[in-house]
């Protein structure tokens, strides 16, 4: 599959910290009610927004938007920070002449309502408790498939509680690193 059609996906899990973990069952029931309200009579559910296996909400996000053959090019696509395996594919998209691609950035806000730059997503969001805003889509595939498919497209992220690793002061990080080194040495002996 070409990089231009790539979609990121994730499972949103129940927060472990109070008070954020209260009401998770209500969230589950609300998601299932939305699905059931749109269900086509006699159809099975092909794709659900709720994952019973993970007890979480399945979300997705299209990484790129096709803009047509425009002269204005996304200024970031050439310099977007990506892992080395994706650099060539991203450069191919930047050089494409039939369509121009725009990076579909998810607005993410920290606990103080400041916009998080995309290059800081991993550092700021990993391990954080985050509120999400989604758009739920329903797609019915008729005839032989006869299934209803539901998708939760990610629109926005808002940090409610930062990850411990983001909050930790330099002194606490050094202490944690020393403790980890000591634990490794102990395991080796």
Radius of gyration of the chain (CA): 21
Decide which of 94 and 135 is more confident. Answer: 135
**DSSP character for 115?**
B
Q: How far is CA 83 from CA 86, 88, 110, in A?
A: 6, 10, 24
Domain boundaries, the chain: 3-63+104-163
- Say what the pLDDT of residue 184 is: 56
Q: What is the mean pLDDT of the chain?
A: 81
Of the CA atoms within 13 Å of residue 54, those in its CB half-sphere come to 14
Mind listing the pLDDT tens digit for each residue in 128-161? 999 999 999 999 887 767 899 999 999 999 999 9
Residue 93 in tokens:
């998209």
Flag whether the pTM goes above 0.75.
no
Of the CA atoms within 13 Å of residue 165, those in its CB half-sphere come to 8
Would you place residue 108 in the very low, low, confident or very high pLDDT band (cuts 50, 70, 90)?
very high
pLDDT of 166 higher than 60 = no
> What b/e readout covers 32-71, taking b as 16+ CB neighbours within 10 angstroms?
eeebeeeeeeeeeeeebbbeeeeebbbbebebbebeeeee
Out of 44-48, 53-57, 109-113, 175-179, pick the least confident: 175-179
Asked whether the CA dihedral 150, 104, 120, 80 is positive or negative, the reply is positive
Ranked by mean pLDDT, which of 47-61, 98-112, 156-170 comes out on top? Answer: 47-61
């Amino acid at each position: 599959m070409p990089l231009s059609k790539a979609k990121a996906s994730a499972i949103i899990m129940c927060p472990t910290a109070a008070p954020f973990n209260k009401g998770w069952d209500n969230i589950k029931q609300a998601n299932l009610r939305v699905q059931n309200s749109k269900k086509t009579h006699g159809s099975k559910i092909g794709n659900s927004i709720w994952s019973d296996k993970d007890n979480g909400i399945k979300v997705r996000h299209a990484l790129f938007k096709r803009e047509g053959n425009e002269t204005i090019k996304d200024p970031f696509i050439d310099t977007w920070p990506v892992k080395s395996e994706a650099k060539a594919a991203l450069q191919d998209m930047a050089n494409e002449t039939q369509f121009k691609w725009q990076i579909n950035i998810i607005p993410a806000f920290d606990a103080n309502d400041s916009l998080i730059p995309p290059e800081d997503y991993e550092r700021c969001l990993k391990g954080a408790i985050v509120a999400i805003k989604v758009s739920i889509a329903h797609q019915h595939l008729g005839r032989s498939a006869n299934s209803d498919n539901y998708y939760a497209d990610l629109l926005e992220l808002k940090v409610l509680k930062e990850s411990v690793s983001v909050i930790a002061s330099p002194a606490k990080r050094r202490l944690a690193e020393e403790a980890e080194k000591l634990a490794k040495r102990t395991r080796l002996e």
